[in-house]
Structure 1
Amino acid sequence: MYNIIQTILIVVSILIIIAIMMQPSKQQDALNALSGGGGDLFSQQKKRGFESFMEKVTAILAIIFFACSLILVYLSSH
């Protein structure tokens, strides 16, 4: 059981890296962080399409990663 969870953890880790690399870049957000970003104060838009999908995939993979990590800690201590 321990080896199966560990393999799942490794696969999920690789998938998280791929999911993060596939997300659209936010260069404008980084520029606003340095310059104050006053222009974007009232122009918050809802994320749509691919960006929203990749954000959800990353969140789900992160939850699976943490769950597998906690299961591995429990299995290793017992």
Structure 2
Amino acid sequence: MIGRTIYELTFYYWDENPENDDETFIAVYSAYELAQKGLEKFAEQPRFKGKREALFISEHELNVENSFWAEGFFTDE
């Protein structure tokens, strides 16, 4: 499966009050259309309702290195 595309649905919400900030990984889909249906479904859930603009679909290729990972992980110490 070299180069197979997957679609990640995530929720990133930042508020003026940091106690309301919310970030979560929701699901991974094999097709964009499925991810879009998932976004529509989750946008109606109580946790996400009224925050549709904070739901994101991102595209990733399996088995393909991304240039933004060239340096690996880092810590903020």
TM-score above 0.5, yes or no: no
**TM-score, length-scaled by structure 2:** 0.28
Q: Which of the pair is proportionally richer in strand?
A: 2
Q: Which of the pair is proportionally richer in helix?
A: 1
Instruction: Please identify the structure whose Cα radius of gyration is greater.
Output: 1
**TM-score, length-scaled by structure 1:** 0.28
Higher relative contact order (CA 8 A, sep 6+): 1
